[in-house]
Amino acid sequence: MKNIDLIRSAEAKAMKGEYIGKDAVLALLSIDPLSEDCSALGEAARRVASEFCDDTAIVGSSIGLDLMPCSMSCRFCSLGEKWGIYKENYVMPDDDVIELIRDSVEHGFTKFTLRTTEFYDIDTLCRLKKRISNEVPGEYVITANTGELNPEKAKKLKDAGFAGIYHAIRLREGIDTPIPADVRIATIKAAQEAGLFVASGVDPIGIEHTNEEIADLIDLYRRLEPNAVCTMKRINVKGTPVGDLEEIDDMRLAQIAAVIRLAGAGVWKNVAVHPITEQAVRWGVNNVSPELGANPRDDKYEGKEWSTGGRERAIKIFQENGYKVKSAFEYAKKD
């Protein structure tokens, strides 16, 4: 089948909320990202985004709570103990987190993800969530991006008032990380069973990842049915084993976002990208969560206001590309 026919067929299925199928996912990922066909793919994804998210974009805030050497030593992570980049522990004081969220809510932001390293204590996280809810007035949602969950831990998050989690099955999970994919899947299922909203990711994408690997992961997500899927390029931090590799370019990142949009129609309403690019927004992305605070993709901590893209810039990009940036609180309630 010609690429253009494949794209038309995928768009028609997606518009009906039907899965385009793994073969189509693979074929769409195999299109040259710089070709006219890929532009047609991106435009189709944008139309599908319009259909399923009503041209509504969400600009969240991902707040890194801690940085500390981690014994998991994932090959792409600057916190890996083996890479020796971070030697000391840093934990953002609770008062700073609360102040940051209060200030953000006052500026109209309504979705916050508390992001931690793998072994952050779940009870400490829940206590912080309760303090935020008690001390920061307003309507907003808080999600967690933390370590593995069993049903008991997932219930603790739910009971503490977390709306959901971000949890990804990493590309080359169990190879570039010591964590088996099954463990990640069990966490996602525990969260779903506890009634938490789940966002997942095709993450972290490097130049060595094949179309087949990416298609396998998108296909797995279609079966796991998360509420949102993010596409994230790997930042190759110097000093990690991937530090000298090239990074994927914006066109490839946008192409993968477009395929995720088409593949998820009828299952996930939100498609995110990290870091934000205008190309990805043009090709089907409606959600970003710029990072504040501690960030394992950097090689140093630059203060609690530090961000890789900036929420204001994200709002501008969405607005310039036909999106209205709406209250994340209202939007989450619809899911």
For ligand SF4, the binding residue among 6, 79, 128, 217 (CB under 6 A) is: 79
Residue 168's CB: how many other CB atoms inside 10 A?
A: 22
Interface with ligand SF4 includes 205 (CB under 6 A)? no
| CA 178-179-182 angle, 5° bins | 145
Considering only 69-77, 159-167, 240-248, 254-262, which stretch makes contact with ligand SF4 by CB under 6 A? 69-77
Region 111-130 residues binding ligand SF4, contact defined as CB under 6 A:
117-118
Considering only 66-74, 87-95, 124-132, 244-252, which stretch makes contact with ligand SF4 by CB under 6 A? 66-74
Peptide bond before residue 204 is cis, with ω within 30 degrees of 0: yes
| Residue 23 phi, psi dihedral angles, 5° rounding | -65, -40
Q: How far is the CB of 169 from ligand SF4 (least distance, A)?
A: 13
Q: How far is the CB of 158 from ligand SF4 (least distance, A)?
A: 22
For ligand SF4, the binding residue among 14, 27, 41, 70 (CB under 6 A) is: 70
Q: How far is the CB of 329 from ligand SF4 (least distance, A)?
A: 28
Considering only 27-35, 65-73, 123-131, 301-309, which stretch makes contact with ligand SF4 by CB under 6 A? 65-73
Q: 99-125 in b/e burial notation, b at 16+ Cβ within 10 A?
A: ebbeebbeeebbbbbbbbbbebebeeb
Q: Which is nearer to ligand SF4, 82 or 326 (CB)?
A: 82
Interface with ligand SF4 includes 73 (CB under 6 A)? yes
Q: How far is the CB of 77 from ligand SF4 (least distance, A)?
A: 3
Region 272-301 residues binding ligand SF4, contact defined as CB under 6 A:
296
Q: How far is the CB of 213 from ligand SF4 (least distance, A)?
A: 18
Distance CA 295, CA 162 (A): 21
Q: Measure CA 39 to chain center.
A: 23
Q: How far is the CB of 234 from ligand SF4 (least distance, A)?
A: 11
Pairing of strands 90-91, 66-67: antiparallel
Build a one-symbol-per-residue string for 224-253: x at contacts with ligand SF4 by CB under 6 A, - elsewhere.
Answer: ------------------------------
Q: How far is the CB of 133 from ligand SF4 (least distance, A)?
A: 26
Q: Do residues 144 and 167 lie in contact, with contact meaning Cβ atoms separated by under 8 Å?
A: no
Residue 261's H or E segment, with its range, is helix 250-264
Q: Which is nearer to ligand SF4, 33 or 296 (CB)?
A: 296
Q: Which is nearer to ligand SF4, 78 or 255 (CB)?
A: 78
Q: Measure CA 41 to chain center.
A: 21
Tokens linked to 283: 């090709």
Interface with ligand SF4 includes 177 (CB under 6 A)? yes
Distance CA 105, CA 188 (A): 28
Considering only 74-82, 152-160, 232-240, 303-311, which stretch makes contact with ligand SF4 by CB under 6 A? 74-82
Q: Which is nearer to ligand SF4, 3 or 240 (CB)?
A: 240
Residue 133 burial class via C-beta count within 10 angstroms: exposed 0-12, middle 13-18, buried 19 and up: middle
Which residues, at least 6 apart from 5, have a Cβ–Cβ distance to it below 8 Å?
A: none
Considering only 72-80, 188-196, 264-272, 274-282, which stretch makes contact with ligand SF4 by CB under 6 A? 72-80
Distance CA 226, CA 208 (A): 26
Q: Do residues 257 and 230 lie in contact, with contact meaning Cβ atoms separated by under 8 Å?
A: no
Distance CA 75, CA 36 (A): 35
Write out the residues near ligand SF4 by the rule CB under 6 A: 70, 72-74, 77, 79-80, 117-118, 177, 296
